[in-house]
Structure 1
Amino acid sequence: MSKLPLAQWIDAFVAWLNQFEGFFYAITNFLAAIVNAIQWVFDLLPIPLFIVVIVGGTWWVIRHSKRYGLLIFEFLGLLYIWNQGFWRDMTQTLTLVLTASLIAIIIGVPLGIWAAKSRTVAMIVKPLMDFMQTMPAFVYLIPAVAFFGIGMVPGVVASVIFAMPPTVRMTQLGIHQVSDELIEAADSFGATPWQKLFKVQLPLAKSTIMAGINQSMMLALSMVVIASMIGAMGLGTKVYFAVGRNDAGGGFAAGLAIVIVAIILDRVTQALNRNKV
């Protein structure tokens, strides 16, 4: 049986896309501007003030639940990152994760709503999300580098593709879970489709959507080490270099910093969902 020339087809498609170099250059500049703006804000704040802002913001989020153990963990964890000299690496990691998560939310939530409203869109989105979520993360690095070069921008692009599916899926699920009786009640009061969406469906689906956003943030963070292979700076670079040097201690120290960031992001987003801030 003759071999299907799939690799050649993909190469030909990539070569065809390269003619739109100006389009990808514009996207690169746009994403670089967002990344640089977020990083500029992080670099502007003195480290002690940054810690106060993060701990204070977390206290405001969890103030109703009074789970102050998170504040202690957060304070000690940030002090550890500072003490180990990983502070700027940590802010670079946060920049990548927040940028990728923001783009995943901006694209994923409307796409999930559209899929919930249209059976045709849902039939297209479902296999696409399956493909995006199951494809090995390393594979995304190839087109990211081909179209966007090396650095933070291709890392953001790869993270967005890898992290978006939970937001789309959970948004679609949340909209579907809204009771038909509530929809009929809104119709009986003469609500328009937009009013039903923003005043009935989205508020009731908020917990499910936030769960998807939480998972997207965690997936974006999981791409940090992988994205370091194409020049994305941050804590992942420390781990990647430690692997290359067989430096178990340095790799563990940087890996622990990533764990601290992951726990803080996870607990804060969960608290936002639980307290309906």
Structure 2
Amino acid sequence: GFALHQLWDGSLPVQDWINRGLDWLVLHFRPFFHALRGPVDALLGGVEAALQYPPTLVMVGLLSLIAWQLAGGALGLATLVSLLVVAMLGIWPEAMVTLSLVLTSLLFCVIIGLPLGIWLARSDRAQRIVRPVLDAMQTTPAFVYLVPVVMLFGIGNVPGVIVTIIFALPPLVRLTNLGIRQVRPDLVEAAKAYGASPWQLLTKVQLPLAMPSIMAGINQS
């Protein structure tokens, strides 16, 4: 027993393994992640410039009008009052930076989440594999993966976009998957009987009928 204790004290150097793994990842893949940073940064900068280019009052009116058209007069009025308060407090530029980060993250969530949700709806095996990953993405605190993301992408707004995508992506994937799976089988069979191709079945039947669930996923994201 004493000899075994001298060879191994019963502890595992997990911390050293993780540190070495991160060092190796940063050393070999940081150029790749910096290349990915370019398009994200360009899109984020474009959205931010578009939001800050119009005069403040014009932007307040435009955003309030969009809210009124999408959700009714009550939300439109609430948006108008809220944005006027933000402008009077002198934090309008900071608010537009935050809004651009949110909109950019949402755009990437839609680009990634819709195809992924469609794939999970078509494959039970893929759903079983990806579901634990989605659970971990939703339940893990953002600060846990913020540090590795900063190490790989550098300091700036891009790591914020990446972390937001990681946290906001699962609801859209789940509800897209759920919406397509809940499409009535008889409608799917009828479309197939009329000779619909898989693409036509998806775009003409499944996605339109699943749209309420998909929009709920976008709303949650």
- Whichever residue aligns with residue 60 of structure 2, its letter is I
Could you say which residue in structure 2 is the equivalent of 1:59? Answer: 68
Post-superposition Cα deviations, 1:172-207, rounded to whole Å, max 9, x if no partner, equal: 111111111111111110111111111111101111
For residues 1-277 of structure 1, what are the structure 2 equivalents within 5 Å?
2-18=10-26, 19-62=28-71, 67-216=72-221
Displacement of 1:29: 1.4
In 2, distance between residues paired with 1:114 and 1:143? 28
Identity level (%)? 45
Residues 7 and 212 of structure 1: CA distance in aligned 2, closer, same or farther (over 3 Å): farther
For the 8 Å contact 2:179–2:210, the answer to whether it is kept is yes
Alpha carbons of structure 1 residues 4 and 193: separation in structure 2 relative to 1, 3 Å: farther
In the alignment, residue 14 of structure 1 is paired with which amino acid?
L
- TM-score normalised by structure 1 residue count: 0.73
Task: Letter of the 1:178 partner, please give it.
Answer: V
Max Rg structure: 2
> 2:16, 2:180 → 1: CA distance?
41
Amino acid at match of 2:189: E
C-alpha deviations, 1:199-257, integer Å up to 9, x for none? 111101111111111111xxxxxxxxxxxxxxxxxxxxxxxxxxxxxxxxxxxxxxxxx
Secondary structure of the residue aligned to 2:90 is coil
Structure 2 distance, partners of 1:210, 1:4, is 47
Aligned alpha-carbon RMSD (Å)? 1.4
- In structure 1, what residue type is equivalent to 2:38? N
Deviations 1:100-136 (A, max 9, x none): 1111111111101101101221111101101111111
Q: Is the 8 A contact 2:68 2:74 kept in 1?
A: no
Q: 1:75 to 1:189 in 2, by over 3 A?
A: same
Distance 2:82 2:51 in 1: 17
For 1:173, the aligned partner's letter is L
Aligned length, in residue pairs: 212
In 1, Cα distance between equivalents of 2:12 and 2:182: 43
Cα deviation for residue 48 of structure 1 reads 0.8
CA distance in 1, matches of 2:46, 2:164: 19
Aligned-residue offset at 1:35: 0.9
Check whether the contact 2:120–2:177 (CA below 8 A) recurs between aligned residues: yes
Q: Which runs of 5+ in 1 are unaligned?
A: 217-277
List alignment gaps of at least 5 residues for structure 2.
1-8
Structure 1 residue 57: Cα displacement:
2.0
With structure 2 as the length reference, what TM-score do the two structures score?
A: 0.91
Asked if the contact 2:66–2:76 (Cα under 8 Å) also holds between the matched residues in 1, the reply is: no
Q: CA deviation at 1:157?
A: 0.7
Which string of whole-angstrom CA distances, capped at 9 and with x for unpartnered residues, describes residues 36-81 of structure 1?
111111121100110121122223324xxxx312222111111100
